[in-house]
Amino acid sequence: MTTYFTKEHEWLRVEGDIATVGITDYAQAQLGDVVFADVPEAGRTVSKGGEAAVVESVKAASDVYSPASGEVVEANAALADEPALVNTDPQGSGWFFKLKLSDVSELDGLMDEAAYTAFLATL
């Protein structure tokens, strides 16, 4: 299992050709208390860098972009009833969707945890 990060503060955890996608702890902290999450339905095709989900907090609404292209195979239904999972466990039970990757070479441009931590230090 490998985890990648984007400069837009999404994470992608890859197991085989399935990737779980969510937002980072940094992103949830910037948003504040999450009150709503709109996740893509299974069967939807998303493109790398394209809008895939929406998260709303007491401060703002933000798009969540897909870190890679593929077909959504599962949405996190728990977020409908408990959007605060994004705040309490952003890189665990607060995930947004699972994706069947269509092009694993798209992962090449993403950061590993060390590179993401270094990136955060520049903000």
Residue 7: C-alpha distances to residues 18, 49, 80, 108 (Å): 21, 11, 26, 14
What SS3 class is residue 77? Answer: coil
For residues 64 and 58, give the distance between their C-alpha atoms in angstroms, rounded to a whole number: 16
Distance of CA 24 to the CA centre of its chain: 7
Q: What is the pLDDT of residues 93-111, one digit of tens each?
A: 999 999 999 999 999 999 9
- Taking the C-alpha atoms of residue 61 and residue 79, their distance in angstroms, rounded to an integer, is 15
Q: What mean pLDDT is reported for the chain? A: 97
Q: 2-121: what fold?
A: OB fold (Dihydrolipoamide Acetyltransferase, E2P) (2.40.50)
Q: What is the pLDDT of residue 61?
A: 93
The 10s digit of each residue's pLDDT in 26-51 is 999 999 999 999 999 999 999 999 99
Enter the pTM of the model.
0.96
Hey, CA dihedral for 107, 17, 114, 10, is it positive or negative? positive
pLDDT at 35: 97
